Amino acid sequence: MHTLTFGRVCLPFSGHFLRVFSALILLLMLLTTCALWLGTSEVTPAAFLRWLLSPVTVADAETSAIMQLRLPRVAVALLGGAMIAASGYLLQVVADNGLADPGLLGISQGTSVAVLLTSMLTGLADHWLALAGLAGGLSTGTLVIALAFRFRSNWGLILIGLGVSVSLSAMVELIMASGGIVQFSRYISWAHGSLTAVSMEDVWLLIRWALVLFLLLLLTPRLLAPLRLSSDQASALGARPQLSRPLLILLASALVAPVVAVAGPMAFVGLIASHLARRLVSDRPGELLPVAMLTGALLMLCADMAGRTLFLPVIMPAGLLVSLCGIPAFLLIARLTRRKS
């Protein structure tokens, strides 16, 4: 067992985790290179290599213009996938339910409603929309989890979450349609989770949020470990679940809010990434969380790359492709979860 230390934060990890983590990093680098190279516009290997070695001073104006479109969507896919995966894992531990996900609990939809209403009524910039989305997502997540704990049913959490998600999704459609065909066509791609219109400004927005939130994630293993025990055991260890749960819900909502503001809601990413990570490493939060984040980044990157290369001339939204894969994954995970319970 090895230990990684950041000041007073100590993160123990095994040799197996280090091997898995390194393999995922290498795979992510390879797929990122492929995602930058492949697309609707053809780039020769020589031109791509010149841009890759010198992206600022490259002489090929056409290649540079193409990369100015591809680089933001690849960066948003990586950051957004990691952030949603981290949010999904936090919610699964807080709710004590392996089926919890920002989309299934209505957090993504609550964020979407807040972002849409704020955008329509005020026309604020994306960083203000992300703050509005945080308020909407936090309110929705707190409501759903509070109702589930009141009914004391893990399966009630999913049923309540699905009911809230469907209601808020219908509200999103009504809001988009209320402004006429122009507004509806403007938001329809965003509502399905699309990276088509993202820009470098969106990338810098996510980077600013990620720098703060990823530092806070370093502190979460100490909060998450007691929540996996019973209330009596957690109290015996000096933990305070009644305080840590709201803080973790706030962090989970904050991880989702800027992604929804930039690219729209992405369902099932947190669910799939967390369960894939559990197959790769142990269930210790210090190991599972970073692996889940890398897995989420890979999922989003692959979905975006598939959406803009496999169905040409049509470009499919990444969120739509993840949802198509997520539905059978949800049913499979639900079946396995019921067998274990």
199 assigned to some structural domain: yes
Per-residue exposure over 324-339, b if at least 16 CB sit within 10 Å of its own CB, e if not = eebeeebeebeeebee
Q: Enter the pTM of the model.
A: 0.87
Kindly state the tokens that stand for 212: 């703060």
Write out the residue range of the structural domain in which residue 178 sits: 71-340
pLDDT of amino acid 85: 94
333 assigned to some structural domain: yes
CATH number at residue 182: 1.10.3470.10
Q: How far is the C-alpha of 322 from the C-alpha of 320, rounded, in Å?
A: 5
66 assigned to some structural domain: no
pLDDT of amino acid 149: 72
Q: How far is the C-alpha of 170 from the C-alpha of 82, rounded, in Å?
A: 27
pLDDT of amino acid 153: 59
pLDDT of amino acid 256: 92
**Which helix (H) or strand (E) segment is 9 a member of?**
strand 9-13
141 assigned to some structural domain: yes
Contact 272, 1 (CB under 8 A): no
Q: Any long-range contacts for 219-224 (C-beta under 8 Å, 24+ apart)?
A: 219/9, 220/90, 220/248, 220/251, 220/285, 220/289, 221/11, 221/284, 221/285, 221/286, 221/289, 222/9, 223/247, 223/248, 224/90, 224/93, 224/248, 224/285, 224/289
pLDDT of amino acid 9: 54
CB atoms within 10 A of CB 43: 19
Residue type present at position 207: I
Count up the domains in the chain and report the number: 1
Q: Any long-range contacts for 112-121 (C-beta under 8 Å, 24+ apart)?
A: 112/136, 112/168, 112/172, 112/191, 112/260, 112/264, 112/265, 113/168, 113/171, 113/172, 113/175, 115/260, 115/261, 116/172, 116/175, 116/176, 116/187, 117/175, 120/175, 120/179, 120/183
pLDDT of amino acid 299: 92
135 assigned to some structural domain: yes
Please give the average pLDDT of every successive group of 10 residues along the chain, which has 341 residues.
Answer: 57 78 95 88 82 68 79 94 94 83 86 86 77 88 79 68 85 76 68 85 92 90 73 60 81 91 87 89 87 94 89 82 77 61 49
154 assigned to some structural domain: yes
251 assigned to some structural domain: yes
40 assigned to some structural domain: no
